[in-house]
Amino acid sequence: MTQPRLRLNDGRMIPQIGLGIWQVPAATTAATVAAALGLGYRLVDGAAIYGNEAGLGQGLRHSGLPRDEVFVTTKVWNDDQGHDATLRAVEASLGRLQLDHVDLCLIHWPVPARKLYIDSWRALIRLRDEGRVRSIGVSNFTGEHLERLVDATGVVPVLNQVELNPRLQQTALRALHDRMGIVTQSWTPLGQGKSFAAPPVQEAAKRTGKSPAQVILRWHIQLGASVIPRSTRTEGLAENLTLFDFALTEGEMSALATLDTGERCGPDPLTFA
């Protein structure tokens, strides 16, 4: 199945929908990843800190798909920030994945108190130039962090993966991404189900015959974001991929926009270390 793709500012393409594997147990990650790839997923969002990179690599091999058909993301954890530590961390990730490159590597959190994210970014630029990482981006960066990175290095991240769901719509940050040519990627896209019962979600679900989760994931798609929901159940994986046989109306998108409360499910990037 062909997934819609988004163009990155380095000319590469990323599937708009992918599988997130945070909290997927290491012992079952290979099976989950292989099942997802069998259903048509072509993007897997991993990270060193998730402790399941080996399973991600195994799942990819078990799927039998050619390496270049699957987009693999990993992330550099906070303790590995700094130039040389980042170089070592990415090599360690590639070793666990048993891959010779990843498609995308992100700085997982800015950790502004450590003042190392620019050094980490220089290491990612080097790894990209050496071909160990095809594209480089960031996660949980605010507008200020993004601007510092670009001022210091001239290299614009291809993507910023941030918490984004109906209660935390990141409107200003998304507009900045658009101006800078950065793809927005949504983590915890379902917002822990806290908006499933909200009338705008329920009404759109009723009209389209889709589930609340599908309505919310479709909302991400129509915002132009890449989205990486996590499920370990086959039915959930399939449900979260079935987003392209319906569309939300402008009225439904506007009604969903009213659900923004600014409340986070996860940590605040300014303080998380």
Residues that bind ligand NAD (CB under 6 A): 20-22, 45, 108, 139-140, 161, 187-190, 211, 213, 228-231, 236, 239-240, 266
Residue 90 or 213: which CB sits closer to ligand NAD? 213
Nearer to ligand NAD, 11 or 186 (CB): 186
Least gap, CB of 190 to ligand NAD (angstroms): 3
Nearest distance in Å: CB 109, ligand NAD: 6
Identify which of residues 49 and 92 has a Cβ nearer to ligand NAD in the complex: 49
> Of the two residues 11 and 183, which places its CB atom closer to ligand NAD in the complex?
183
Nearer to ligand NAD among residue 84 and residue 270 (C-beta): 270
Within the chain, where are the H helices?
A: 26-39, 53-63, 83-97, 117-130, 143-153, 171-180, 199-208, 212-223, 234-241, 250-257
To the nearest whole angstrom, how small is the minimum distance from the Cβ of residue 180 to ligand NAD? Answer: 19
Measured from the Cβ of residue 194, the count of other Cβ atoms closer than 10 Å reads 15
- Is 8 in a helix, a strand, or coil? coil
CB of 83 to ligand NAD, least distance (A): 21
Give the integer Cα–Cα distance in Å for 81 and 116.
6
Identify whether 41 is a catalytic site residue. no
- Residue 164 to residues 9, 36, 176, 263, Cα–Cα distance (Å): 21, 22, 15, 10
Residue type, 19: L
- The active-site residue out of 30, 46, 50, 256 is 50
Output 20 or 82, the one with its CB closest to ligand NAD: 20
Query: CA dist 12 to 84, 122, 161, Å?
Result: 26, 20, 17
Amino acid at 112: P
Specify whether the CB–CB gap between 134 and 94 falls below 8 A.
Answer: no
What is the Cα–Cα distance from 25 to 40, expressed in whole angstroms? 21
> CB of residue 185 vs ligand NAD: minimum separation in angstroms?
8
3-state secondary structure of 20: strand
Query: CB nearest ligand NAD: which residue?
Result: 20
Shortest reach from residue 140's CB to ligand NAD, in Å = 5
Contacts of 150 (CB under 8 A, 6+ apart): 156, 180
Residues involved in catalysis: 50
